[in-house]
Amino acid sequence: MRNRNEKGPDTGEQEMFFRRLQDNLGSRIRLAPVVASTLNISEKTAYRKIRGDVALFFHEAMQLERLILPGPDGAHHARYRLFANSHFSPLSLDDYWSVLDDSLGLWSKSSRPYGYMETTGIPNLLYFGFPELAAFRYHLMLGETRFRTEEIRNADSWLKKGHVAMNTWFNTGKTHLILDKTECIESIQLVMNALKRHQRRDPSGALLMKQQMREVIHSLRKIAENPEERCWVYLTQFGITRPVACLLNDGRGQTLWPMPGLGFLSTNDPTVADYYQKIFELKIRRSSMLCKSPFFSKLFFDALEDSFEDAL
């Protein structure tokens, strides 16, 4: 395998890498779609990399390696192979909020509500305290930001449900939130750059949402640095491949993933919830809890606020 600046595939090493990856995934899982989805490339390009016609670069190999995570017992389990017999429900955006609403309702009423979440940026739930900014981000993900702020004054039902979900998650039971510094900074820059473009057609709306973005960062800091909060925030050094949330209640679990194209997957299979709980506990042991690590917390939030100020 080559680094970004090298040309030409090292076919022997590359073929061995993909054979090992296929062995870990199991024979029931097709390798090309997994590679294409993970690297955000076409299946045709994925096949060429698997055959050795095109180089697999080092940063791509690192992404693929993350599909196979070390379990607490030291063994390696492939997510796809482990979940091959599990039932997954593909969800639309509306379906997602219905499932999340039902899951959080059961979760909040259980005797031992416990939750885990890792995100590739600022947690989506935090935006729901600010309807205009939450709706802007939604349209941004759809690639549609040609609207005026007044058009979303009356928030859609999913915005209202999102606000309820935010309050339930951060004020019920014991929850753990795992973040990555680089991903959080990039998520802020993405929104701020889009707001700069939006400012030309809606100056007052863009100004309002910039102020809301600042408040989102402050809200996250308040949660992270207060040990009395119900949500404990961790900073990982190992990166995050894909956002996932796992709600555990009285021995049952609901696991949800956002997927490309604003679709979602959901399962209440206890095997999946148990697996992710072990993975989360492993990551937590290797991460910094911000309320107990003031030095790391200050560095982290100073970097977020600097990124915000630089983008103004």
Helix locations, 26-77, DSSP H: 31-39, 43-51, 58-65
Phi (first) and psi of residue 243, to 5 degrees: -60, 145
Q: Quick check: is 46 in a domain?
A: yes
Are 64 and 95 in a shared domain? no
Give the CB-side neighbour count of residue 258, counting CA atoms within 13 A. Answer: 19
Are 163 and 300 in a shared domain? yes
Are 19 and 104 in a shared domain? no
* pTM, entire model: 0.68
Are 57 and 151 in a shared domain? no
Q: Of 82, 112, 137, at which residue does a domain stop? A: 82
Are 147 and 215 in a shared domain? yes
Q: For the chain, 312 residues long, give each residue's pLDDT as a single digit of tens.
A: 444 444 344 566 778 778 877 877 667 678 888 888 778 888 889 998 898 888 887 667 767 766 654 443 334 444 443 333 344 454 555 666 677 777 788 888 888 888 999 888 898 889 888 888 888 887 776 555 454 444 454 446 667 777 888 888 888 888 999 999 888 999 999 999 999 988 988 899 999 999 999 999 999 999 999 877 789 999 987 777 667 888 887 767 888 776 444 346 677 777 778 878 888 888 888 888 999 888 889 999 999 999 999 988
Q: Position 227: which residue type?
A: P
Q: Of 82, 101, 135, at which residue does a domain stop? A: 82
Q: Of 27, 54, 82, at which residue does a domain stop? A: 82
Q: Distance (Å, rounded) from C-alpha 129 to C-alpha 122?
A: 13
Q: Which residues pair with 115 in a beta bridge?
A: 175, 247
Containing structural domain, residue 33: 11-82
CA 249 to chain centroid, in Å, comes to 22
Q: Distance (Å, rounded) from C-alpha 225 to C-alpha 234?
A: 10
CA 258 to chain centroid, in Å, comes to 7
Are 57 and 169 in a shared domain? no
Are 146 and 67 in a shared domain? no
Q: Which residues pair with 288 in a beta bridge?
A: 235
Contact 220, 238 (CB under 8 A): no
Tell the burial category of 143 from Cβ atoms under 10 Å away from its Cβ (0-12, 13-18, 19+): exposed
Are 101 and 71 in a shared domain? no
Into how many domains does the chain fold?
2
| Token duo for residue 192 | 């701020």
Contact 116, 175 (CB under 8 A): yes
Phi (first) and psi of residue 117, to 5 degrees: -150, 135
Are 69 and 137 in a shared domain? no
Q: Quick check: is 246 in a domain?
A: yes
